[in-house]
Structure 1
Amino acid sequence: MVKIGDTVSFEEFPLLLAPMEDVSDPPFRALCKEQGCDMMYTEFISVEGLIRDASKSVQKLDIYEEERPIGIQIFGAELDSMRRAAEIVEEAQPEVLDINFGCPVKKVVCKMAGAGILQDIPRMVELTEAIVKSTNLPVTVKTRLGWDEQSKHIVEVAERLQDVGIKAISIHGRTRKQMYKGEADWSLIAKVKENPRIQIPVFGNGDIDSPEKAKLYRDRYGVDGIMIGRASIGYPWIFREIKHYLATGETLAPPTVAERVDAARRHLSRSLEWKGPVLGVVEMRRHYSNYFKGYPGIKPFRHRLVTEMEPATLFATLDEIEEVFSQQELEMAS
């Protein structure tokens, strides 16, 4: 059994949805939960936005009963702001409060937030301890191996964060300098897990894009669970496919075009409800490539999906995709 504090436990090897800006929102989380995701995180939320009651930050606190267990993730650099934000998060009643010490984006890093804090480990520990002491929620951390190749101190960092009270750590197998380039190095994630001092769950993140790779990395590196990010965008079925493969060793057939269109329609509908007619359309666009990846002749349809602003036209385009490509599937199957 894998436990995060006293509030969250998993009987089997858990799959987690990574917190991703403009991706891991309620409309998308609902689809991932349907497909077997065990635990999800909100988009990362600015603590400065929260304490100033900025509408976009506050909206990201929205969580729904069917999503549980869920973690709310925050990022910031100022001690007092982090404490105050932790109190606001506690009122939203997630199962977990997660601290983002891994975002590599320049506008976050330059404020010494996200992965920027990896340049100042004592400060990272100080901020974490302050949050642990200011909330009754289990506190977890998502971070990277280090700032650059010369500062991959994640084994020591994990110990120090555990010592101040975190209940789990998720580690992306790259440095901040790497951003998302190159191959994720899970060997250091394994060293954290193998460290006899570490008693909290260690979740691995980075480059898991297939059931086969999930099993290989689980077995090779011994992590307590896997966090999946980019491979889930527009493809929530990655969770059910991995779960099925881990349980049976068999590869599930990919979703049919009808399943893909149904998911895209529901995703778009919820996105419009939650974000409104502009953001609800625009922030769906990064999902469409994966929803319909690999279909010969999909390009003109995809172009419409990523340029059109009128919801009725988008739904009509999805209907057309189902009609055209369902026929292709039937012809291929016969």
Structure 2
Amino acid sequence: MNQITPTMAATSPCTYVQPPATTLTDLPTEIRLDIFTHVLDVSNVPTRYGYTGLRPMRDSTEPRRILRTHGLVAVNKELGAEYRQAFYERTEFFLRIHASNAFEGIPQLKAPPPPMNAEDQTKREEGEIAAREREREREGGIPNLWNAPDALIASLRHCIIYIELGEIKWHKDSSHSVKKLFPTVTPAHVVTHRFEVYDEDDVAWDAQLKAAVFKIVDMQQLRSVQLVWDNTIGDTLKTEKLAQWIWDSYGQPFVDALQKKRNLRSFQVRIGNRTDDMDLRGNRGEGDKWTIQVL
């Protein structure tokens, strides 16, 4: 029988090879997304956010809150992108377009300013030049009317877009004829009759507002969207009979466009006020066929 000599034992040691450690990047993408969603849940990160006001100026020396709240985006490029995906997939954003931010973000809706002296005229022209420069910078991009980072607006998966259509048209800064037609509370049947008398300026006004909203809902990454047009004018003016007329202009074109979005799974388009509205919902089913339901 062969015997193991000390020399043989020294040259044939028994070694233990430790397996490589498993890291987060070694896991399947689906599991990582589930982990990120769980992290968001246990961190009590809200599933709904609202953006309703104007965009304030931010001090460049102020640390960005996103890195304090969502530090995982800075781990590396791949994990950061997946974390953002998990965040947007679980989060619904409420975007409100109203008289205070509509004219700032869509200056074409404003009425021409009144005549002024030479000095004020120069200041106005300088302001108009700056406004045109800003418009050229964002031309073709997604309108950002809110206190929200541009990257956030471009990454939305689920959102509610609430447009105070009646109040924007009726606002003192608006170039729409409705504020001249209805300076005071008017019966609904008179409102309906006068609204049907439409001029070219109003058609252009509508086109500018709809073009901005079309750019928002045209984002390819959207999975679900609710579009609400509130046509209430004033606190007491009732415009129930306007719903059908406004649907042809503000409702059906968006229903047709949303059904063509490849990644969209569901949508809802609503027009009306607190007492009467038209509401249509669409869901994409098997074979990418849409089921449309009138609510």
TM-score (norm 1): 0.28
TM-score (norm 2): 0.31
Q: Structure 1 or 2: larger helix share? A: 1
